[in-house]
Structure 1
């Protein structure tokens, strides 16, 4: 006597069987191939922002932020396995350009006055995207979540510009150099048996680098550079470690997006410290 099993149950059972039969993948091995690309992207973006901030020219800093945002928008959909990578990239690119325009039209405090409107434009485009592209409606919640995180990351990078003209560029230069140094330490420690020390070592290296850079630039020894270097490096390394576990990060655009995003992620922290009496 045979028992009919609904097709839905058969599909779930077959998927479960395939997952159980799959060969386990070592996360560190999966992330080994894109690590140099992520590190290179982090170093290039961080040093570019440091140079732009050190120049003292507002337009240069805005252009650097927009270019970093475009780098994120190009690879972000592939990083999260979006079914509509082109449409999602367009939404994030529109957000990046809108943020740049919002910063450009506001030449005095409050520098971020129009940035919320630029981010709102990105959110509107994100919501309209599934209406004009049918494939975007598949896995809608996942697509919207990933796109919203990209909009937030790109919009948060605008805080670098506000920090430059509030603190003379010092905090941005300090933290960006610290991020570049921490990224190199992170790559060196990507070895079996050393991964547990990656984040603590990167935070320590970031803190030391930040203090040294501030000492060279200003000639003074303060506590806030160490705070920026340690916390900024820790946040950036943690994001790259999380992204490197995704199989989709093996592609170059996705790895570049992860590296650039790890730098832009630190902007709100830098802005906060620059607004405090410490800096």
Structure 2
């Protein structure tokens, strides 16, 4: 009686000419500070190993099925990115695109919350989202080492692009606003804004001042409020020629010009209220 010989999935992959799925592709990108190669989180490595041992059909189903957010079997985003790139490398474009669609289904809520901090109009938020999707797809499908960080810290990579697009939108809006519009057409209007901002700095804040702070914070973007808080409450200078001096520009990681733009937009919102 002949015994049936069952070939393991990994062996079948090797026999067909493709690299075995159980062999995890190493990362090649190195850290700038230490020169050491980036490493995946242990949980991601464990998921890749488990999924790599499945049949192709089982693996694709496990990667694309909808899970409860707290389900321990739910693949992490970095795990999905790994398999997107692996399927693309192996020529299975359809599988790669299905996994990209799975990734896309996970980001709208996060992107919306981040863009909401910038108080962008809905049309500009939609424009940012469209640009982000294109950039994310291109980066993940790229085989350049510099894009490997998506396999290490997916949300960090996405947040960097969200903030870059939102900042770009704000710069465009700044250029479209005339200087007279920034401060108000009349000098005393600007003085009125300065006076209210100065009230925020009251060290013995009354209930009215506390309410003013909360109201102003609700109307400003995160960066605008941070600039106002640091300048008028913390009394930190916008910028300085002294490299050792703490400034708003250093804290926010922007130029002094950007800080002034944040403050001008805050003034305009206050005067228009």
TM-score (norm 2): 0.29
TM-score (norm 1): 0.29
Greater helix share, structure number: 1
**Larger Rg, first or second structure (1 or 2):** 2
- Specify which structure has the bigger relative contact order, considering alpha-carbon pairs within 8 angstroms and separated by 6 or more residues: 1
